[in-house]
Structure 1
Amino acid sequence: MSAIAFVGLGIMGGPMARHLVKAGHAVVGHNRSPGKAEALAADGGRAAGTVTEAVTGADVVALMLPDSPDVVDVCTRDGGVFDTAEPGTLVVDFSTIRPDVARDLAARAAERGLRMLDAPVSGGQAGAENAALSIMVGGEEADVAAARPLLDVVGSTVVHVGPSGAGQTVKAANQLIVAGNIALLAEAIEFLRAHGADLDAAARVLGGGLAGSKVLDQKAQKMLSGDYSPGFRIDLHHKDMGIVADSAREAGVVAPVAALVAQLVAATRAAGDGGLDHSALHRTVRRLNGESS
């Protein structure tokens, strides 16, 4: 069993940390909102008031933070992960950040004698709560092998996709595919509605054919019922589409559909829906069709 520092105990990180506790690991959690660390302590972990306290003595440091600047800050600040972790410590970043930032952090970690993996996840809140996340891992093969017993606790699909930064590149592609599917599902629902189709029946039959997808399975009913309570917020998907755009431009990749979907996500956020689930992109499609959202 490992001593694990888990920094970032939000919608995703909280359930992941609890699964590690249940698997028998000694987990020390830290979060900017102390109540979330205290909730982990109530479930058998331990709460730390600072990153330094959480990381001291840890074999593994796990991060689940909102954006690239947050990860850079937690890793590189005075008393942060890189200052505090002992040489040989494995740092696993589950956050979704820019691939170039992930590569830079891995190089800086190596200079400190640390081993760092970028291991972003897909599956949303339900995947985190059910330990059914898909985890795309970038880094050295030996480090991935060392982390796999922990990754297998929180994920059902764990794949080493290449060197440092590769996990974040695959996650960016994942977010593009998901956003595109959500946008098309929203348009399809409004198309069906305009023609008077039975929307529930249509969703069932579409799910059984080539149009079927996890997006359709998980998001159609949210759109039909108007329940946009977050599993994964528009604000975060907006950030991820920015990663797609920046990374595509850096590589010289032309991605016109990505640009259009990014604008739809941005419009949803600009309309005040940033705190809703990304299925709330449906609200933007409804507004474009002259409907109240």
Structure 2
Amino acid sequence: MVIGFIGLGIMGKPMAKNLCKAGYSLIVNDHHIENINELEKCGAESGTLEYIAKNSDVVITMLPNSPQVKEVILGENGVARYMKSGTCFIDMSSINPVDSRYIGKILKEKEIEMLDAPVSGGEPKAIDGTVAFMVGGDENTFEKYKEILFKMGSSVTRCGELGAGNTTKLANQIIVAGNIQAVSEAFILAKKAGVNPECVFEAIKGGLAGSTVMNAKVPMMINDDVKPGFRVDLHIKDLNNALECAHSVGAVVPMTSQIQEIMQYLHNNGDGSSDHSAIIHYYEKLADIKL
């Protein structure tokens, strides 16, 4: 099976490498030539969107947001123009579920299958192949192609029809952001009260407050390490999509709105490209203390 892989960023590059390791034939495309060169060293081939579409059984995208996915798939020279009927498009980008369904409707008219399959886990899990996939799409299509996803992740769950994957991802991103905000607030309280944050971490990480988010982000906060595993600006994008989705279905998300304002503050004050654990900087500023 030949897989076309478009988008070799923080997440896409290691995931594409894992497909190479699994023995798939890969044709890759990215704006950054150094990323393409890195995949070629792993055995992948590079190609234009047209070449990928004409020569792939499955086309995968891992792109920033809906406009980029629409352009790559449905643009004037997009892959949908050249893909053969009976092939499949798997979008691993985190986008608005409304857009996933729109793209899928057009592809269905061309007899092209589609899954929306956003992921959670950040760069470390992308590297070691243990991300969690949240998948939307036809059940038969899911069964046919889920093995590809298992080569990049340790959890692959079908959540419903097309768009359900991205709806689940939006819920995930609300929870992750809320966790990081709560952790930041709590640890600044501890520091302000004169308690060593490292001791607090050791004391509570095994209890009910412990979480994957806390285990991953508190050491980064303590060391002021904001090398991006998942950038603030990308989380802003996800929360914008969550707010738009919530407004369209009548869901109430006041906490999400508050966290989005904190994220926007970070963007406006030089942390847009930092890891989302930089939420701690917002609380450090308000409390006038460093963790």
What TM-score does the superposition give when structure 1 sets the normalisation length?
A: 0.97
Corresponding residue of 1:38 = 37
In structure 1, distance between residues paired with 2:170 and 2:236: 12
Q: Give unpaired runs (5+ residues) of structure 2.
A: none
SS for the counterpart of 2:151 is helix
Corresponding residue of 1:184 = 182
User: Equivalences for 1:3-22 in 2 at 5 Å?
Assistant: 3-22=2-21
Checking the alignment, whether the CA contact within 8 Å between 1:133 and 1:154 is kept in structure 2 is yes
Instruction: Write out per-residue CA displacement over residues 186-208 of structure 1, whole angstroms, 9 at most, x where no aligned residue.
Output: 11110000111121121012111
In structure 2, distance between residues paired with 1:185 and 1:220: 8
Percent identical: 36
Shift of 1:54: 2.1
In structure 2, distance between residues paired with 1:14 and 1:252: 37
Q: Give unpaired runs (5+ residues) of structure 1.
A: none
Instruction: Write out per-residue CA displacement over residues 12-65 of structure 1, whole angstroms, 9 at most, x where no aligned residue.
Output: 1111111111111100100011221121011111112x2112222100000000
| Candidates 74, 77, 95, aligned match of 1:76 | 74
SS for the counterpart of 2:228 is coil
Instruction: Write out per-residue CA displacement over residues 221-245 of structure 1, whole angstroms, 9 at most, x where no aligned residue.
Output: 0001101100000010010110111
AA aligned to 1:71 is: V
Is it true that 1:57 corresponds to 2:59 in the alignment?
no
In structure 2, distance between residues paired with 1:192 and 1:61: 48
Is it true that 1:271 corresponds to 2:287 in the alignment?
no
In structure 2, distance between residues paired with 1:255 and 1:11: 29
After the TM superposition, which segments of 4 or more aligned residues of structure 1 sit over 2 Å from their partners? 290-293
In structure 2, distance between residues paired with 1:260 and 1:220: 21
SS for the counterpart of 1:273 is coil
In structure 1, distance between residues paired with 2:250 and 2:84: 39
SS for the counterpart of 2:86 is coil
AA aligned to 1:18 is: K
Checking the alignment, whether the CA contact within 8 Å between 1:38 and 1:46 is kept in structure 2 is no
What root-mean-square deviation, in Å, do the aligned CA atoms of Structure 1 and Structure 2 show? 1.0
In structure 2, distance between residues paired with 1:134 and 1:99: 18
In structure 1, distance between residues paired with 2:203 and 2:8: 38
Corresponding residue of 2:173 = 175
Is it true that 1:135 corresponds to 2:133 in the alignment?
yes
In structure 2, distance between residues paired with 1:90 and 1:202: 48
Shift of 1:292: 6.5
Corresponding residue of 1:146 = 144
SS for the counterpart of 2:67 is helix
Shift of 1:288: 1.6
| Candidates 116, 121, 124, aligned match of 2:122 | 124
Checking the alignment, whether the CA contact within 8 Å between 2:236 and 2:263 is kept in structure 1 is yes
Corresponding residue of 1:204 = 202
Checking the alignment, whether the CA contact within 8 Å between 2:52 and 2:79 is kept in structure 1 is no
AA aligned to 2:181 is: A
User: Equivalences for 1:217-228 in 2 at 5 Å?
Assistant: 217-228=215-226
In structure 1, distance between residues paired with 2:107 and 2:288: 52
Checking the alignment, whether the CA contact within 8 Å between 1:7 and 1:31 is kept in structure 2 is yes
- Aligned pair count reads 291
In structure 1, distance between residues paired with 2:253 and 2:20: 42
What TM-score does the superposition give when structure 2 sets the normalisation length?
A: 0.98
